[in-house]
Amino acid sequence: MTAQTTKSPQLANKTPQLVGKHPDTRHGVILYVEDVNLSFDGFKALNNLNLYINKGELRCLIGANGAGKTTLMDVITGKTRPDSGKVNFGQNIDLLSMDECEIARAGIGRKFQKPTVFEALSVFENIELSLSGDKGIWASLFYRLSPEQKDSIDNILRTIGLVNEAYYPAGRLSHGQKQWLEIGMLLAADPKLLLVDEPVAGMTGQETERTAELLTSLAGERSVVVVEHDMAFVRSIARQVTVLHQGSVLAEGTMNDIQSNPEVIRVYLGEETDH
Ligand SMILES: Nc1ncnc2c1ncn2[C@@H]1O[C@H](COP(=O)(O)OP(=O)(O)OP(=O)(O)O)[C@@H](O)[C@H]1O
Ligand SMILES: [Mg+2]
């Protein structure tokens, strides 16, 4: 352990952001999105977007279909480049200068809507693979886990509530359990910021409730941004809610602030309750 944390002479004099790329969150902010613009064939998907996510917070992002929520996640994770603006991880890490792998390695995990677990492998093995990172599937499966790695998988299994299913093939899990496993796989990389797009779509009521508990428990140690249309779910987890509309922030505040905001009711909530 000591050997790993000792800086080499070449690195010792460099600024902290160049050593291991740790986000500088001394101002309490883990993600800065400033004046971001992105057009697709002249259509402004993101329009002078400004968003700040605090260290350790759980933020819900809501907005009508096409508001730009997924596009924002694409920009943060390096999948799509904006036309202009600034996206920083902490004060020091410029995400726009990094590719998707570098961004993931810096500590940003993203969960897509569709679970992508290895169905033939056990729940435990799926997490084991994520833990071992770039080694590849065969090397990882025959590689001996250290007691610390085994403990960390056990901790993840407890967090995601799949201790009893640890040795089931992932293909036998319910839709909700697969979603939790995928969150567990992301946790193996110990992200500091977790982006989760529509986590409860297709879940049963009980699965939705457990997902609310899980995401709430993940915040604190890390920051979590959740995009979701299910308003009851958002209400059950939200501290701060940001409403996106046509690629910009329309409103930000507690769920009560948001639900009584006339603009939000007009462009989003009103429309939702009409269905
Ligand atoms: N690669 C792309 N090429 C062209 N247009 C795109 C592309 N990606 C997104 N868009 C457009 O950008 C707008 C924002 O889409 P986005 O997927 O971010 O919305 P969203 O808020 O996630 O919506 P939903 O709630 O339906 O998931 C939409 O009008 C979409 O059609
Ligand atoms: Mg979307």
Give nearest CA residue, ligand 1 atom 1.
Answer: 40
- CA 161, CA 177: separation in Å to the nearest integer? 9
Domains of the chain: 25-114+192-274 (3.40.50.300), 118-172 (no CATH)
- The answer to whether the CB of 40 is under 6 A from ligand 1 is yes
pTM: 0.88
Atom of ligand 1 nearest to the CA of 71: 18
Instruction: Tell me the CA distances in angstroms from 73 to 82, 99, 138, 218, one per residue in order.
Output: 11, 14, 31, 19
Query: Are the C-beta atoms of 39 and 83 separated by less than 8 Å?
Result: yes
Crossing angle of the two packed helices 175-187 and 205-218, in degrees rounded to 10:
10
Residue 141: the pLDDT is: 62
Crossing angle of the two packed helices 175-187 and 147-160, in degrees rounded to 10:
140
Task: Give the distance from CA 95 to its chain's centroid.
Answer: 15
- CA 97, CA 106: separation in Å to the nearest integer? 12
Residue 272: the pLDDT is: 54
- The answer to whether the CB of 66 is under 6 A from ligand 1 is yes
Number of H helices, E strands in the chain: 13, 10
Residue 166: the pLDDT is: 97
Beta strands 58-62 and 240-245 are parallel
CB-based contacts of 127, cutoff 8 Å, min separation 6: 153, 156, 157, 181, 184, 185, 188
- The answer to whether the CB of 23 is under 6 A from ligand 1 is no
- CA 250, CA 248: separation in Å to the nearest integer? 6
* DSSP letters for 55-86: TT-EEEEE-STTSSHHHHHHHHTTSS--SEEE
Q: What is the DSSP letter of 260?
A: T
Atom of ligand 1 nearest to the CA of 72: 18
- The answer to whether the CB of 65 is under 6 A from ligand 1 is yes
Residue 118: the pLDDT is: 93
- The answer to whether the CB of 80 is under 6 A from ligand 1 is no
Query: Are the C-beta atoms of 128 and 140 separated by less than 8 Å?
Result: yes
C-alpha of residue 69 to centroid of ligand 1, in Å: 8
Atom of ligand 1 nearest to the CA of 63: 21
Q: Which two three-digit tokens encode residue 236?
A: 């059950």
C-alpha of residue 44 to centroid of ligand 2, in Å: 15
Residue 2: the pLDDT is: 36
C-alpha of residue 48 to centroid of ligand 1, in Å: 16
Residue 114: the pLDDT is: 76
Give nearest CA residue, ligand 1 atom 4.
Answer: 40
- Report residues of the chain scoring pLDDT below 50: 1-19, 273-275
- CA 29, CA 262: separation in Å to the nearest integer? 29
Residue 83: the pLDDT is: 98
- The answer to whether the CB of 71 is under 6 A from ligand 1 is yes
